[in-house]
Amino acid sequence: MKIEICRKEFIDFIQFEKRASNNTLLAYSNDLFQFVNYLDTVYEIKSITEVGHTIIRSWVVSLVEQKISSRSINRKITTLKSFYKFLIRQNIILEDPMLKILSPKVPKRLPSFIEKDKMDTLLDDTFFGDDFEGIRNKLIIEVFYATGIRLSELINLKQSNVDLYLCQIKVLGKRNKERIIPFNTILKEQIQQYIILKADVKNEFFFINKNGKKLYEKFIYRLVKTYLSQITSAKKKSPHVLRHSFATHMLNNGADLNAIKELLGHTSLAATQIYTHNTVEKLKSIHKQAHPKG
C-alpha cells in the first residue's frame, strides 16, 4: 500500500476514533509528513512495505545531524511507533520495524525554582493590595509555595476541601488520587481573611474572581508570571516553578524525600529525586565559594 494512503488513514484514525487533541493531531501530522517526505526524497520509496528498520534509522540519524533536539526526535519516534502499531492492526504490514529503533537519551533538566530570599521579598505585603483581589492574589501565591500543589489542583480546590480546624487541604490530583496537605497557622490566618471577603458568594470553588466565578488556568498563569517578574529575571515564571520552589526549599531545610513525594502527589520516588540535584548543585556552589581550593 502507498505510504501516503497509510498516513491519511492513520491521521483519520487518531482524529475520529481516538479523538486526539488538535495539538496532538498537528504534531502527528507534521512528524509523518516529514517522514514520508524523507522517504520520497532520499529513497524514492512509495510503498510502506519497502520501509525497513535500517531506513527508519537513517531518518533518525539525519534528524540528529540536523541538530534536532533529543526531545523532538523522541516525539517523532513515538509518532512512528503509533503509526506502525496501527498498520499492524490493519494487517497492512506483518512485522514492526520500530522494535529495532532506539530513542536518543534526553538530558535531564534541573527543575527551575525561586531562591528563598526572593520568595520572602515577594510575599511582603508591599506587592499586594488590601482589597479582595490583592488578598486573593497573595493567597494564591502563598498556597502554591506553601503546599506545592499543581495549577489544576488549585483551580479545582473546593471550599469543602479546606479544613481550617485541622489546618489542611484535601487535593484531588492526577488519576483522581486524593492527598492531604497541611499548612501553617500563618497561612490559616490569610485563608480566614480571604473567606470573610468572599462569604456572600455562593460558589463551591475556593478561588474565585470578583464576580464570583471560578478562575481559569490562563488567568492564574498570568497572575503568577506578573508577580514573579517583580523579583526574578528567570525565564520560567509559572505556577510549576512555585511547586519546584516548595520542594527544593523543603529538601534544603532537611525534609525527608519520601515526605516530599507524598506532599507533591508523585507516584514514585524517582520523580521526586530530581530535586536532590538542585541541592547538590547548591552544595557545589557553596564549596566553590568557601573552600580555598574550590
Active site residues: 150, 174, 240, 243, 266, 275
Cα 28–Cα 34–Cα 37 angle in degrees, nearest 5:
135
Let me know: does 205 contact 159? Beta carbons within 8 Å: yes
What type of residue sits at position 130? Answer: D
**Residue 272's closest CA among 285, 255, 292?**
255
Give counts: helices (H), strands (E), the chain.
13, 3
Let me know: does 11 contact 36? Beta carbons within 8 Å: no
Residues pairing with 178 in the sheet: 172
Alpha-carbon distance of 217 to 97, in angstroms, equals 41
